[in-house]
């Protein structure tokens, strides 16, 4: 029956094309078939004090009323007025904004126009508590080197990658093939590789959140093996990543970039990936990121585990000492290093100017080491090099935003009023640029660069908007930041959340070898999202926000990364604090 209906719909679309005199290209028919009415919302919901908006897409009944329905009583609680219709040039969608901000009563609701319904959503103060836990627990489910036997999700596998890792290429400390004990850390992305770049920025994001609001991350919150030990579960989980990072540091302070095999693991469980796995080349950008996150960790763990905190500070200072012997950016890379893993380097797809230098990472390291130690050499480096850096969205490509925010918010060491003024200017200039993008986007998306992990970029722009709101109290920044969360959680063209297991219509077909091979379900994984490059051959190419497909074969759009999750957790926490 489904195939019959599709054929009828296909023939009808073809007939329309012929009548209109339009060439019956596949893309034209596909566009016609996609034109349907839907109401899209944030499928988790809205805090009572937030602006609350949904979008009516391609309204087929302009005179029909839009009702807000209480899901429990099935009664209408409001009739919504609609804004004027706007056409989104990229998708062709006609959008009408629906505003129900005046409703603050906690409960579960949906929007209704005739027989058309939106996904359900909640209003309440605690509605993001479970999504936060789900997102955080995903780190535990991605642990490498231990047995996973999780009663909550049913995810399980024996210990994996217990022989990590071998030295890929001879360097001043090792011969090729020498082994280094490097078991641990988290699997990243669509394979089982482990990267210093994503691990450092993820841990830094989350430890910074803990420092700002430790009560939000209690012991026992995540139901992980360490729960009940008297330490925040978040700190237990981050220590698992930090201790692996220490294993990636050479005796001279330099840090290896990644640990991976030479082949991509396809449709197998982690313990079935038995190939030899290597430590690949040292890098000054990764060494500087390592120094920064270890300095943050030394402060965070000082009152909890002073011995461990001392190890972290020692690692940070050793990394900085190595950087002083390398005045220019250095990356040891050999052809073939990326046969079975991502490079996390400048490339044809990663063309940002920040990847041509390591000054952003050195600046970040200097800030965090200054806060941790109080040594003026670090403060002097930061002051001397601030103007050489650009405030964009925080990521492994550019760590400046977190460095500047940590400098503003720290209270352990003296700050310069002149530097504070410069930082505030950088943040507001970036936020104004982002806000302009939101206001010119029919879907109110802050990011218009749909490339690898565009979702993370959108989320991080939302965080910048929050920082600007905190500095200025300009409500436009806050509203725009909320809209970035709305986009990720379903208020988008696809009427879908981009996180597994969250929302009534979450992403389903994630590109992940364990999920594909063993048909397991891992909740709380944030996928990369629209990618106009679409090099996998499955997602639509060069279609902007339409360059997305919920398909397990689409590694360019439906792959997970730990830093995606860290960014989304940060956006959630920052919005809930306001």
Task: Give the mean pLDDT of 432-438.
Answer: 98
Nearest to 192 by CA among 148, 142, 256, 135: 142
Which CATH number describes the domain made up of 35-123?
2.60.40.10
Question: At which residue do the structure tokens 């989350």 appear?
Answer: 206
**Per-residue confidence (pLDDT) for residue 70, from 0 to 100:** 98
Q: Range with the lowest mean pLDDT among 33-42, 133-142, 443-452? A: 33-42
pLDDT tens track for 51-102: 999 999 999 988 899 999 999 999 999 999 888 899 999 999 999 999 999 9
Exposure of 576 by Cβ count < 10 A (0-12 exposed, 13-18 middle, 19+ buried)? Answer: middle
Q: What is the DSSP-derived secondary structure letter of residue 44?
A: S
User: Average pLDDT of the chain?
Assistant: 93
Find all residues with CB under 8 Å of 325, minimum gap 6, and list them. none
Task: Give the mean pLDDT of 104-131.
Answer: 97
pLDDT at residue 469 above 60?
yes
**Per-residue confidence (pLDDT) for residue 234, from 0 to 100:** 98
Higher pLDDT, 61 or 206: 206
| 181 and 247 Cβ atoms separated by less than 8 Å | yes
**Per-residue confidence (pLDDT) for residue 258, from 0 to 100:** 98
How many other C-beta atoms lie within 10 A of the C-beta of residue 23? 9
**Per-residue confidence (pLDDT) for residue 35, from 0 to 100:** 56
| 207 and 297 Cβ atoms separated by less than 8 Å | yes
* Predicted confidence band of residue 182 (pLDDT cuts 50, 70, 90): very high
* Predicted confidence band of residue 404 (pLDDT cuts 50, 70, 90): very high
Give the length of the chain.
Answer: 578
Q: How far apart are CA 109 and CA 289, in angstroms?
A: 44
pLDDT tens track for 499-525: 999 999 999 999 999 999 999 999 999
* Predicted confidence band of residue 19 (pLDDT cuts 50, 70, 90): very low
| 69 and 89 Cβ atoms separated by less than 8 Å | no
pLDDT at residue 487 above 50?
yes
Nearest to 494 by CA among 454, 529, 460, 522: 529
The partner residues of 56 in beta bridges, in order of sequence, read 39, 96
pLDDT at residue 14 above 50?
no
Rounded to 5 degrees, what angle do the CA atoms 477, 423, 429 make?
A: 45
**Per-residue confidence (pLDDT) for residue 212, from 0 to 100:** 94
Four-residue CA torsion sign, 412, 415, 420, 422:
negative
For domain 164-262+273-344+352-412, the question of CATH label 1.50.10.10 is answered with: yes
* Predicted confidence band of residue 6 (pLDDT cuts 50, 70, 90): very low
Rounded to 5 degrees, what angle do the CA atoms 226, 209, 426 make?
A: 155
Would you put residue 223 in left (φ > 0), alpha (ψ -120 to 50) or beta? left
Encoding tokens for residue 249?
């540091």
pLDDT tens track for 311-341: 999 999 999 999 999 999 999 999 999 999 9
Q: How far apart are CA 219 and CA 426, in angstroms?
A: 37
Task: Give the mean pLDDT of 272-294.
Answer: 98
Task: Give the mean pLDDT of 210-233.
Answer: 97
Q: How far apart are CA 63 and CA 292, in angstroms?
A: 57
How many other C-beta atoms lie within 10 A of the C-beta of residue 411? 7
**Per-residue confidence (pLDDT) for residue 412, from 0 to 100:** 81
Task: Report the percentage of the chain scoring pLDDT > 90.
Answer: 90
């Amino acid at each position: 029956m489904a195939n019959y209906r599709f054929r009828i719909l296909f023939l009808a679309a073809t007939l329309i094309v012929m009548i209109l005199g339009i060439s019956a290209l596949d893309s034209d028919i596909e566009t016609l078939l996609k034109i349907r009415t839907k109401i899209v919302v944030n499928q988790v919901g809205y805090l009572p004090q937030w602006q609350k908006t949904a979008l009516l897409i391609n309204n087929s009944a302009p005179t029909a009323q839009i009702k807000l329905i209480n899901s429990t009583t099935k009664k209408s609680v409001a009739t919504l007025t609609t804004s004027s219709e706007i056409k989104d040039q990229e998708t062709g969608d006609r959008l009408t904004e629906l505003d129900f901000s005046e409703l603050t009563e906690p409960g579960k609701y949906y929007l209704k126009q005739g027989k058309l319904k939106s996904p359900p959503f909640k209003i309440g103060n605690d509605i993001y508590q479970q999504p936060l836990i789900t997102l955080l627990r995903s780190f535990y489910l991605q642990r490498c080197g231990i047995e996973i036997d999780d009663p909550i999700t049913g995810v399980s596998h024996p210990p994996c990658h217990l022989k990590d890792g071998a030295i890929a290429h001879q360097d001043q400390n090792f011969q090729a093939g020498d082994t280094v004990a490097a078991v641990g850390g988290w699997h990243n992305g669509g394979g089982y590789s482990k990267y210093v770049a994503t691990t450092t920025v993820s841990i830094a994001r989350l430890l910074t959140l803990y420092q700002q609001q430790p009560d939000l991350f209690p012991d026992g919150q995540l139901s992980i093996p360490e729960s009940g030990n008297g330490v925040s579960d978040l700190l237990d989980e981050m220590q698992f990543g930090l201790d692996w990072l220490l294993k990636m540091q050479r005796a001279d302070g330099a840090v290896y970039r990644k640990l991976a095999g030479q082949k991509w693991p396809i449709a197998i469980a982690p313990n079935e990936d038995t190939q030899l796995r290597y430590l690949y080349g040292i890098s000054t950008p990764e060494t500087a990121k390592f120094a920064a996150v270890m300095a943050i960790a030394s402060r965070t763990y000082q009152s909890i585990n002073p011995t461990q905190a001392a190890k972290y500070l020692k690692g940070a200072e050793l990394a900085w000492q190595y950087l002083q012997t390398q005045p220019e950016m250095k990356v040891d890379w050999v052809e073939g290093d990326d046969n079975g893993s991502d490079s996390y380097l400048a490339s044809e797809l990663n063309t940002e100017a920040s990847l041509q230098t390591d000054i952003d990472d050195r600046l970040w390291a200097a800030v965090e080491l200054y806060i941790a130690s109080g040594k003026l050499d670090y403060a002097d480096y930061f002051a001397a090099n601030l103007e050489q850096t650009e405030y964009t969205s925080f990521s492994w490509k550019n760590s400046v935003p977190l460095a500047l925010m940590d400098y503003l918010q720290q209270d352990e060491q003296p700050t310069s009023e002149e530097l504070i003024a410069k930082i505030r200017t950088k943040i507001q200039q970036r936020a104004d640029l982002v806000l302009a993008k939101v206001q010119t986007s029919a879907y109110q998306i802050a990011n218009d660069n749909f490339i690898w992990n565009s979702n993370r970029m959108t989320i991080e722009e939302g965080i910048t908007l929050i920082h600007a709101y905190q500095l200025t109290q300009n409500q436009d920044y806050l509203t725009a930041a909320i809209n970035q969360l709305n986009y990720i959680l379903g208020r988008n063209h696809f009427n879908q959340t981009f996180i597994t297991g969250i929302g009534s219509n979450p992403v389903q077909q994630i590109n992940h070898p364990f999920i594909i091979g063993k048909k397991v379900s891992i909740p709380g994984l944030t996928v990369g999202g629209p990618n106009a490059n679409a090099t996998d051959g499955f997602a639509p190419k060069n279609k902007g926000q339409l360059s997305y497909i919920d398909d397990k074969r689409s590694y360019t759009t439906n792959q997970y990364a730990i830093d995606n999750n860290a960014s989304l957790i940060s956006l959630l926490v920052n919005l809930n604090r306001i």
